[in-house]
Amino acid sequence: MTGRLFEKAAVITGAGRGIGYATARLFAREGARLGLIDRDATGLEQSVKQLAAEFPSAVIHWSQADIAEHRTITPAIDTLAAALGRLDILVNNAAARAFGPVADATPESWTEVLQTNVTGYAMCSRAALPYLRRSGAASIVNVASVFAIAGRSNMGQYDASKAAILSLTRVLACEEAGHGIRVNAVCPGSTWTPWTYGRAQARGMSLEDLKAKGAVPCLLGRWAEADEIAFPILWLASDEASFITGVALPVDGGLTAI
């Protein structure tokens, strides 16, 4: 451990697996005190047990909540901030996905995706801001997507919601700079997580074929590992990025350079 987040208090949504879990694990390694949120209580509890076993001295609190439900997410963040005694970092990571062309998307599907990916991020931020403002040097990191910048077919609802997150990031950066809060976004490319495993069957591919061929082409020619997204999140959350706000950082293996 190098202590890059020593004694910082961080809330991470979607922390039960994938990028959220990789971020929680990295933050724990770097000395942060954690408040973890996921809508899957069983998966989150198991992840917390794994983190506690690996980092026995870490301070870890957790709460089951769905970011799409403001009546539960606000009390969850209040409870975690109280347990941690302060809040310095918010990582908005939880997300909803939908597949298919825009021509086939229903109003109900749009509502579900936007309620989580846009309204959910906004409500998490609103709940956290009173605590973050007291920090004096706080950071919000929003997990967007490289496909908020680059186009592709069949995920228009998800990608449009992630583009909205970039706008939300810039607006919050403007509004909260006077309170000492930096707000940035990371934009991952194709990332190998437990969620992508489930896509193998839906796409009629074996895990081996999915890993070899399923990523959107990029210069590095492979999937990202979850840790490769977590490290940029760590950097933006840390004081090392103290003069960076309002930025959307592609972490995409060079996809946006093509």
The tens place of each residue's pLDDT in the chain, 258 residues long, gives 579 999 999 999 999 999 999 999 999 999 999 999 999 999 999 999 999 999 999 999 999 999 999 999 999 999 999 999 999 999 999 999 999 999 999 999 999 999 999 999 999 999 999 999 999 999 999 999 999 999 899 999 999 999 999 999 999 999 999 999 999 999 999 999 987 877 666 677 788 888 887 889 999 999 999 999 999 999 999 999 999 999 999 999 999 999
Nearest to 184 by CA among 132, 214, 141, 218: 141
- Residue 201 has a pLDDT of 67
Which residues carry out catalysis?
Answer: 158
The CATH class of 9-189+226-250 is alpha beta
Sequence-separated (6 or more) residues with CB below 8 Å from residue 212: none
What phi-psi label fits residue 225: left (phi over 0), alpha (psi between -120 and 50 degrees) or beta?
beta
Tokens of 1: 């451990």
Cα distances (Å, whole numbers) of residue 147 to 95, 168, 206, 210: 14, 16, 24, 19
Q: pLDDT tens digits, residue range 70-115?
A: 999 999 999 999 999 999 999 999 999 999 999 999 999 999 999 9
What residue segments make up the domains of the chain, in order of their start?
9-189+226-250
CA distance 226 to 160: 22
CB 142 within 8 A of CB 95: no
- Token pair for residue 79? 């409870």
**CA dihedral sign, ordered 203, 206, 208, 213:** negative
